[in-house]
Chains A and B, each alone.
Chain A
């Protein structure tokens, strides 16, 4: 059997689509303080390249294992880290729900991120897919796990804003 999508009721499907879109808009609009709220407290967020992900390795270029660590990333970005101002634009497509296990929805979405630097230089910064585990908390969809699998092993210069 070919791997395909699970056909969910329209409401759940719509809520998951909205979560994925709202997440990207929050980052692209620099509302980064909202970013941790897309996750449950006991969550996992990791950016890892495709090669490491496929080999089952555990270390990527960002690894947060609690919502507190997500907050700390944003605090560091705002207060501590030194970098040149820039912003992202996420392009996302092809969200599919691969599997539903109890309350956990296993969802994958392809993405491209264009990075624009303060002087105007633009580049395709990253392409890959989100591998998500989405759960519902008080009726709201949240990420229990979001693994950002990047197609390239290379990051140009640095990555400070989450994908």
Chain B
């Protein structure tokens, strides 16, 4: 790594973030190596979407294309989608079923574990051409990654040294995944939100419990999420992962939620069809909202009865793509499924809440581009990285993200 081109961090903490980090192309390249191929587990898909042997999907880890498949023994494999021969994509389709992986360019054939099986015209034609005698097929397979599945969620890593997935997530993070996902998932829909901003601006937004009832009028006005509700922030021991949660029925009167003080609080605003904001008490713990981020770019969401997974893929320094999986559970009644569908109007690119998260990142990108030497301020709730049981008027989860970032990037 060339130290002279490294971004210089303004201090030894995580409460000042240099604007340069959202635009610098060299820094983007380093992230691909140090984060996405570093000591992390990347979410790559749902096990149930590759249910049968031979089923595959294509996706990305960072911006590296990968194939996620179930091999003929029923094991999940995650393989870099690149032929060993000339680097061509082996799988072109987004999904499908196959018994082997064959590169269309020169018909190099691999089994579903990525082992090279044959090379077209490897012996040449009429004793001329062909591969050299010392070409060893066994050394030229596809690159297979470490893969683990937790609660039906498939993760993979380029790292040989990162801890096993369950340990890397930690107990509190596993508990929330069990709670939201562990009953099984029925996929209700998938879509993508393509945003004109660096991926980290979106991941900061996800961890930003401060903005939720200020930017999003819907959350504040209909008391879906207010800072005056009982709730808190859980951070993993190293600060990398987070959960922000709240319990709507514990909301107390707070004079800062006044229409004269906050734009997001509107008096006299009512819905013609209020069934949108009606849900049912789904969880015994009473939690009505929980946003969890698994470092660096995966999100598990519960907003009342709206459940979703989100994955934010980097697409160059100033663009990213947010993939959504909206789901229910196998136990849902028809009525509960209809409530989830109705509540899906709150999320995604057309969601009355989430649409606004799609736009602020681009505004920051435009606002900061010219002044690369300046920094953001991230010190609501202090300057440290520690769980907060007392409330969510804090930016501690964002600081946790930057703790993980500095750890991985070595800056």
A interface, CB within 8 angstroms of B: 47-49, 51-52, 57-69, 71-73, 75-76, 79-84, 153-160
Contacts and interface: CB of A to CB of B under 8 A. Distances in A.
B116 interface: no
B344 A59 contact: yes
B391 interface: no
Contacts of A75: 269, 271-272
Contacts of B352: 73, 76, 80-81
A52 B190 CA distance: 7
A62 B345 contact: yes
7 contacts: A59-B344, A73-B352, A75-B271, A76-B352, A79-B217, A81-B218, A159-B350
Contacts of B358: 157-158
Interface residues of B, number: 42
B348 interface: yes
A57 B349 contact: no
Contact of B276 (A52, A72, A154, A159): A72
B266 A52 contact: no
Contacts of A155: 191-194, 348-350
Q: Which of B215, B358, B360 has the most CB of A within 10 A?
A: B358
A57 to B, nearest CB: 5
A49 B194 CA distance: 14
B174 interface: no
B359 A61 contact: no
Nearest to B196: A157
A159 B221 contact: no
A39 to B, nearest CB: 13
Nearest to A80: B217
A83 B355 contact: yes
B291 interface: no
B351 to A, nearest CB: 8
Interface of B: 187-196, 215, 217-218, 221, 266, 269, 271-273, 275-276, 321, 326, 337-338, 340-342, 344-345, 348-352, 355-356, 358-360, 362-363
Contacts of A64: 345
A66 B338 CA distance: 13
Contact of A82 (B337, B351, B359): B359
A63 B321 contact: no
A69 B359 contact: no
A157 B321 CA distance: 9
Contacts of B275: 66
A82 B263 CA distance: 11
B273 A68 contact: yes
Contacts of A48: 189
A72 B112 CA distance: 50
A156 B359 CA distance: 10
Contacts of B266: 79-80
Given A79-B269, A80-B218, A80-B221, A158 B193 contact: yes
A158 B321 CA distance: 12
Given A72-B271, A79-B266, A159-B355, 19 more contacts: A58-B188, A59-B189, A60-B191, A61-B350, A62-B350, A63-B342, A65-B342, A66-B273, A68-B273, A69-B273, A69-B276, A72-B272, A75-B272, A80-B266, A153-B191, A155-B349, A156-B194, A157-B359, A159-B349
A159 B189 CA distance: 17
Nearest to A150: B191
B190 A157 contact: no
Given A68-B271, A69-B276, A154 B342 contact: no
A81 B190 contact: no
Contact of B355 (A49, A60, A68, A158): A158
A76 B326 CA distance: 22
9 pairs of A and B residues whose beta carbons are closest in the complex: A59-B189, A68-B273, A68-B272, A61-B350, A155-B349, A158-B355, A59-B188, A80-B217, A159-B350
Contacts of B193: 154-155, 157-158
Contacts of B337: 58
Contacts of A57: 187-190
Nearest to B355: A158
Contacts of A49: 191
Given A60-B189, A82-B215, A83-B356, A158 B344 contact: no
Nearest to B337: A58
